[in-house]
Amino acid sequence: MGVLWWFLAPLPRIAKRADGLYRVGGEGNEAAIAADGWFALLTLVTGIVVALVVYLRTRPGSVPPLLGLAVGGLLGSVVAWRVGALLGPGPIESTADALAVGARFDAPLDVTALGVLLAWPMGAVITYFAVSAGAEAGDGVEPAAGPSDLADVSRPDAAAPSDPR
């Protein structure tokens, strides 16, 4: 997930000025928001897929798979975040030292809203609950009654259609 996130998310741009380093577009620029959005989307889809696989491979309704989805999803998010960050450019300060004033360069990919790290475990747990609840609700449903099942057999005239002659 980290490699895919690094491939899809835009890298934030940094401008070197005489008075310091600044993000191009300000603090809340679109690249940082887009990086968080891509991370949340990719990890959410991963959580859903993992939950479906776990549900099909384990006994539904047991607690250990659910705990594994929650803890594993959080660990998976952190690993994806760090892998994506490591694939990008080097530290901002070392890159800026080698450039002239006025230069622009790509900053490392990073998660700015730490809440997106919860997309994977939340997607997995909610999907597991939803699939489990849907499967349990479908177990007790009886087949719908057909027209012949609706006749009142306690009344002799209702059991068979009446002859209008």
pLDDT of residue 138: 59
Contact residues for 25 (Cβ-Cβ < 8 A; gap 6+): 13, 31
What is the Cα–Cα distance from 119 to 141, expressed in whole angstroms?
33
**Eight-class DSSP state of 155:** S
Q: How many CB atoms within 10 Å of residue 58?
A: 14
pLDDT one-digit tens code per residue, 90-126? 777 777 777 778 787 777 788 888 999 999 999 999 9
Helix (H) or strand (E) holding 132: helix 119-139
Partner residues linked to 121 by β-bridges: none
pTM of the model: 0.73
Per-residue pLDDT tens for 124-158? 999 998 998 877 665 555 555 555 555 555 555 55
Q: What residues pair up with 106 in beta bridges, in sequence order? A: 13
CA of residue 81 relative to chain centroid, distance: 14
User: What would the pLDDT profile of 45-88 be if each residue is shown by its tens digit?
Assistant: 999 999 999 999 987 777 899 999 999 999 999 999 999 988 87
Nearest CA-CA partner of 75 in 58, 97, 103, 50: 50
Q: Round to the nearest angstrom and report the end-to-end CA distance of the chain.
A: 76
